[in-house]
C-alpha cells in the first residue's frame, strides 16, 4: 500500500468516523446501535492483502482511539484492530468463495466486527476498566452483529469502487 493510498484511506476513515460519531450514534435503532465504522473498516480490510490490511487496521484503530467518548487508553483500538485485521486478511483468503456472495460477505464482516468488540471487552477487563454487565455486553455485540450483517452487502460495492478509483497501476499488477 503506497503512502498516498494510506493517506486517502485514512481520510476516508476519518470521514466515516465523523458520520459514526455525529449521525449514526444519534439514531436509536432497535436492540442497540451498530458501528458503521467497524463494518467499513472490515470491508476495506477484506479487499486488501495482508500488509495493506495490517496498515489499514492500525490507521483505523488510531482514528477510533481519537473518539472523545472513549474511556479506554489511547492505542487500545489500534492494537486490537491491527491484530484483527491481520486475522481477517488471512482468513479472507481461504473463504474467497463465501464472501463473494452477499449473505456470506455480510456474515463475515459482522463476525469480524463482533470479534473486534469482544477483543475490546477482553482487553478492557485485562486493563481493569469497567465493562458493564455480561447481559448488556451480549446485547451490544448481538445488535452490532445483526445490523452489520444487514448493511455490509450494501456497502461492499461502494468500497470496491473506491479502491478501484484510488489504487495505483503498480498495485493493480
Binding mask 88-127 toward other proteins (x if CB under 8 A, else -) reads: -x--xx--x--x-----------------x--xx--x--x
Under the binding rule (CB under 8 A), the answer on residue 44 touching other proteins is no
Whole-angstrom distance, CA of residue 124 vs CA of residue 115: 14
Residue 149 CB partners (closer than 8 Å, separation 6+): 106, 107, 109, 110
- Residue 167 DSSP class: -
Is residue 170 close enough to count as binding other proteins by CB under 8 A? no
Nearest-angstrom CA–CA distance, 19 and 25: 9
Residues 127-146 binding other proteins (CB under 8 A) are: 127, 129-133, 135-137, 139-140, 144
CA distance 60 to 63: 5
In angstroms, give the least distance from the CB of 23 to other proteins: 6
Among 6, 10, 12, 83, the residue binding other proteins under the rule CB under 8 A is: 83
Residue from 13, 42, 44, 58 touching other proteins (CB under 8 A): that is: 58
Q: Whose Cβ is closer to other proteins: residue 70's or residue 154's?
A: 70
Q: How far apart are CA 169 and CA 173, in angstroms?
A: 7
23 near other proteins, judged by CB under 8 A: yes
Report the alpha-carbon distance of residue 163 to residue 76 in Å, rounded.
27
- C-alpha angle with apex 95: 93 to 97, nearest 5 degrees? 110
- For the chain, the residue count is 173
Looking at the Cβ atoms of 117 and 152, the one nearer to other proteins is 117
Report the nearest approach of other proteins to the CB of residue 127 (Å): 8
Verify binding: residue 26, other proteins, rule CB under 8 A: yes
Distance of CA 156 to the CA centre of its chain: 13
9 binding other proteins? (CB under 8 A): no
Identify the residue among 25, 104, 151, 166 touching other proteins (CB under 8 A): 25
Does residue 84 belong to the site contacting other proteins (CB under 8 A)? no
Amino acid at each position: 500500500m503506497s503512502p498516498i493510498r494510506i493517506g486517502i484511506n485514512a481520510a476516508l476513515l476519518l470521514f466515516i468516523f465523523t458520520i459514526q460519531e455525529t449521525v449514526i450514534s444519534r439514531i436509536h435503532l432497535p436492540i442497540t446501535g451498530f458501528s458503521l465504522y467497524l463494518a467499513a473498516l472490515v470491508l476495506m480490510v477484506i479487499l486488501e492483502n495482508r500488509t495493506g490490511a495490517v496498515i489499514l487496521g492500525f490507521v483505523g484503530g488510531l482514528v477510533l482511539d481519537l473518539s472523545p467518548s472513549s474511556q479506554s487508553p489511547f492505542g487500545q483500538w489500534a492494537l486490537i484492530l491491527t491484530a484483527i485485521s491481520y486475522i481477517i486478511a488471512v482468513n479472507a483468503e481461504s473463504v474467497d468463495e463465501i464472501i463473494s456472495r452477499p449473505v456470506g460477505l455480510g456474515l463475515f464482516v459482522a463476525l469480524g466486527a463482533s470479534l473486534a468488540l469482544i477483543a475490546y471487552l477482553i482487553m478492557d477487563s485485562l486493563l481493569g476498566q469497567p465493562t458493564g454487565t455480561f447481559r448488556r455486553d451480549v446485547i451490544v455485540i448481538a445488535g452490532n452483529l445483526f445490523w452489520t450483517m444487514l448493511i455490509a452487502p450494501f456497502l461492499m460495492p461502494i468500497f470496491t469502487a473506491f479502491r478501484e478509483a484510488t489504487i495505483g497501476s503498480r498495485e493493480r499488477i
